[in-house]
């Protein structure tokens, strides 16, 4: 006789967890695949995937950048959101109002907030690009500004706001208990609520993309790894070490810009 997990047969629960894990993993892998394709397109000329390099962007190029930022946020953030999504999936399966598609709506709500972030990030990049503050590859042209970005990102890591938002991301059951809404639209709103917490937690780390290069995939991977490490551990030391390291690095870069 099989056991149960929150009112759901254990065998069914394990099967659902496997499907969910494969689905999230596939989505993240496709996002990373797109980023690799875009990065490779930069090596060629005339590719429709290539980032805009002209001195003035067109609306079409800006829309391409929105897509690139949105996919990049999916690649970076979806893996570290997996524990929250899995907790929601278990809860909704045991809920009397559990409905097919609720988990998908939760993920959609989460990614919708990061999609809005992608629009804002594109706007910032467009503004900076038109004023030659960033290069065509999305890197701050003045290394001293990169130093400032490092210091700002590091200082935010040490703030109470960061600690609060990170705590929300680390406590799936607490989040679900305080934000629960029934139905498919409720699932979307819960996902959006979690997305807002993640943006509030991680926006400063995304500044580093302008310091290292928006399409520098090595640093995109490193930043994604830092985000995952902060979310998936419960140590208060991790964000403090990250913050202190970023501030120190930023000061060095600002004072010795040739190091960049």
Q: Tell me the average pLDDT across 77-88.
A: 93
Residue 155 pLDDT greater than 70, yes or no: yes
Q: What is the pLDDT of residues 239-255, one digit of tens each?
A: 999 999 999 999 999 99
- Is residue 199, in this structure, part of any structural domain at all? yes
- Is residue 128, in this structure, part of any structural domain at all? yes
- Is residue 1, in this structure, part of any structural domain at all? no
Q: What is the pLDDT of residues 188-206, one digit of tens each?
A: 999 999 999 999 999 999 9
- pTM (predicted TM-score): 0.87
- Is residue 2, in this structure, part of any structural domain at all? no
- Total domains, the chain: 1
Which pairing describes strands 8-9 and 4-5: parallel, antiparallel, or unpaired? antiparallel
By CB atoms closer than 10 A (0-12, 13-18, 19+), residue 15 is exposed
Q: Which residues of 201-220 are buried (b: 16+ CB within 10 A; e: fewer)?
A: bbbbbbbbbbbbbbbbbeeb
Domain range for 64 is 7-259
Q: What is the pLDDT of residues 17-71, one digit of tens each?
A: 888 888 999 999 999 999 998 888 766 555 555 566 666 788 888 898 999 999 9
Q: What's the N-to-C CA distance of the chain in angstroms?
A: 62
- Higher-pLDDT residue of 120, 257: 120
């Amino acid at each position: 006789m099989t056991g149960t997990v929150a009112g759901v047969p254990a065998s069914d629960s394990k099967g659902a967890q496997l499907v969910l894990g494969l689905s999230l993993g596939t989505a993240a892998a496709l996002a990373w695949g797109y980023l690799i394709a875009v990065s490779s397109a930069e090596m060629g000329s005339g590719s429709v995937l290539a980032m805009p390099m002209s001195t003035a962007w067109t609306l079409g190029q800006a829309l391409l950048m929105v897509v690139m930022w949105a996919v990049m946020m999916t690649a970076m953030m979806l893996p570290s959101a997996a524990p929250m999504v899995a907790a929601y999936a278990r809860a909704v399966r045991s809920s009397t109002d559990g409905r097919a598609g609720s988990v998908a709506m939760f993920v959609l709500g989460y990614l919708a907030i990061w999609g809005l972030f992608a629009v804002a990030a594109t706007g910032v990049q467009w503004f900076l690009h038109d004023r030659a503050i960033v290069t065509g590859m999305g890197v701050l042209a003045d290394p001293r500004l990169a130093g400032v970005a490092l210091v700002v990102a590091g200082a935010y890591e040490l703030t109470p706001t960061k600690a609060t938002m990170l705590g929300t991301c680390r406590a799936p059951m607490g989040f679900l208990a305080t934000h629960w809404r029934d139905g498919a639209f409720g699932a979307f709103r819960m996902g959006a609520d979690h997305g807002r917490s993640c943006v509030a937690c991680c926006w400063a780390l995304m500044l580093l993309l302008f310091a290292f290069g928006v399409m520098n995939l090595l640093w995109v991977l490193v930043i994604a790894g830092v985000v995952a490490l902060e979310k998936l551990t419960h140590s208060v030391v991790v964000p403090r070490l990250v913050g202190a390291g970023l501030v120190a690095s930023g000061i060095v870069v600002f004072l010795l810009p040739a190091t960049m």
